[in-house]
Amino acid sequence: MSETLLEVKNLKQYFNVRTNVGKFASLKAVDDVSFDIGRGETLGLVGESGCGKTTVGRTILRLYEPTAGQIIFDGEEVTKKNITRMRKQMQMVFQDPYSSLDPRMTVEDIIGEPLDVHKLYTNKKERREKILDLMQTVGLNAEHATRYAHEFSGGQRQRIGIARALAVNPQFIVCDEPVSALDVSIQAQVINMFEELQEKLGVAYLFIAHDLLVVHHISNRIAVMYLGKIVEIADADELNDHPIHPYTESLLSAVPIPDPNITRARKRIVLEGDVPSPLNMPTGCPFRTRCRYATERCSAQCPPLTDRGTRHLVACWEK
């Protein structure tokens, strides 16, 4: 059995959008992205808002039909024909626990819906037993089963969403900023639960987030995304200690450290200029318009991801 569970090869996701002048243009939300995730591994995906992180996760599950590229799960390419069967193995936890749960359904029906769709029980008694077991797994009580989503706190709602994702016993879960809408005290509980579930069930995660401290804590490897492209991938500790790409350096320099001496000695790298529009991408490297190391070569050709040793991949000509 291969150690690689998911392979994403040259994934592209373009959207046709109407411009101010009434014409249609191609918005390159995800542009030639490649990575892999091993069994039981967590790959963190970070980057600023609008860089395409969520689109990557949704396209992997074919919630969006990809423009180009391959998604290979457990040795089999994910296609329109087999996606219903594949979704038993691939699930998603959405960012907003307030809008991702149906307000007209009880908790029991929300968690039981995947069981109904994939016919994973033989009678009502077995269905209820599975639902109660899932609720216990994520720290909910049996008496919560008959309540509705609006009766719960944000952290409890996210637990309901996680229980729903676990209902089909998946091997892989896309976690789309699962703690960004929660209070800081609740974030730690949910993150710890993700880690406990991974240890218990061996599930792999694509963990999408803004918070680099959270991503570093939970991830085995981290991929950094900018304007639809991955610019750096490395082991979590390696990326945190030895960032190479100028964009990664800037992101890490903004992470707060609870030590005033280190904070005073550290130099904050502030990027100049605005993020270019994905409707009007710069030629060559997408980061060159904000990069202090940019040269003529950067404007002429987009750098490929190259291995700098120990699986530390970087897309940069000058670093």
Domain of 229: which CATH number? 3.40.50.300
Sequence-ordered alpha helix ranges (H) in 61-183? 83-86, 107-117, 124-137, 154-166
Query: Is residue 49 included in any domain, yes or no?
Result: yes
Give residue 276's pLDDT.
84
Give residue 2's pLDDT.
59
Question: By 3-state DSSP, what share of the chain in percent is helix, strand and coil, each rounded to 5?
Answer: 35, 25, 40
* CA pair distance 201, 199, nearest whole angstrom: 6
Q: Which residues of the chain have pLDDT under 50?
A: 1
Query: Is residue 299 included in any domain, yes or no?
Result: no
Count: domains in the chain: 1
Query: Is residue 120 included in any domain, yes or no?
Result: no
Query: Is residue 39 included in any domain, yes or no?
Result: yes
Q: CB neighbours of 203 closer than 8 A, spacing ≥ 6?
A: 40, 166, 170, 171, 172, 173, 197
Query: Is residue 300 included in any domain, yes or no?
Result: no
Query: Is residue 302 included in any domain, yes or no?
Result: no
Is-contact 48 286, C-beta < 8 A? no
Q: CB neighbours of 53 closer than 8 A, spacing ≥ 6?
A: 45, 46, 47, 176, 208, 225
Task: Please provide the size of the chain in residues.
Answer: 319
List the domain range (segments joined by +) for residue 208: 4-89+170-246
Query: Is residue 65 included in any domain, yes or no?
Result: yes
Rg of the chain taking only CA atoms, in angstroms: 21
Give the DSSP letter string of 42-72. EEEEE--TTSSHHHHHHHHTTSS--SEEEEE
Give residue 187's pLDDT.
85
Q: What angle do CA 213, 214, 216 make, to 5 degrees?
A: 65
* CA pair distance 211, 10, nearest whole angstrom: 26
Helix, strand, or coil (residue 175): strand
Give the DSSP letter string of 268-303. --PPPS-PPPTTSPPSS-TTGGG-TT--HHHHHSPP
Give residue 1's pLDDT.
44
Q: CB neighbours of 257 closer than 8 A, spacing ≥ 6?
A: 263, 266
Give the DSSP letter string of 13-32. EEEEEE-TTS-EEEEEEEEE
Render pLDDT for 75-103 as a digit per residue (tens, 0 to 9).
999 988 888 889 899 999 998 888 889 99
Query: Is residue 176 included in any domain, yes or no?
Result: yes
